Amino acid sequence: MLQLRSCPATELSIDLLLEADPDIRQVERYLNAGLGFAAELDGKVVGVAVVVLGEGGEAELMNIAIEPARQATGLGSQLLAYVIEQARAQGIRQLGLGTGTFGHQLRFYQRQGFRVVAVERDHFLTHYPEPIFEDGIQHKDRLWLELTL
């Protein structure tokens, strides 16, 4: 049975976090400031998420990842719904996130109601030391999405 819980972000699996963000320096940058969330199946953590609170009722979803073998099973959607519920309970009114301009992640967020509000040109070229490819295409620009809670 799936268990969803909040926890300190620093207790989350780095290996899982790196599934969604391949640069350890980027991940370490937000771990200490983040709220952590975990999805467990039979006592084993299979999904993680990190949210960083901002000002004025805003927050950013920095990372959400599910074990590769368990992706596309609905676990990510359940974890994200839990994160959104917890954000609402803390008085957050706007949840934002950055993601690539294509791929399954974009569809995943849009299914949860997130909408594209900006494009950050060359984000992945200037903020990551190694190129990031998906389906043979290099990520260059980043989309900023928001969900009003």
pLDDT of residue 56: 92
- What domains can be seen in the chain, in order of their start residue? 2-148 (3.40.630.30)
Question: How do residues 106-135 score in pLDDT, each as one tens digit?
Answer: 999 999 999 999 999 988 889 888 898 888
- pLDDT tens per residue, range 42-94: 999 999 999 999 999 999 999 999 999 999 999 999 999 999 999 999 999 99
> Residue 134's pLDDT is what?
85
Q: Is the pTM of this model over 0.85?
A: yes
Tell whether the torsion through CA atoms of 55, 115, 16 and 89 is positive or negative.
positive
What is the rounded average pLDDT of the residues 16-27? 93
User: What does the alpha-carbon distance between residue 76 and residue 67 come to, in Å, rounded to a whole number?
Assistant: 10
Q: Do 101 and 119 contact (CB within 8 A), yes or no?
A: yes
Q: How far apart are CA 145 and CA 126, in angstroms?
A: 20
Q: What is the DSSP letter of 97?
A: E
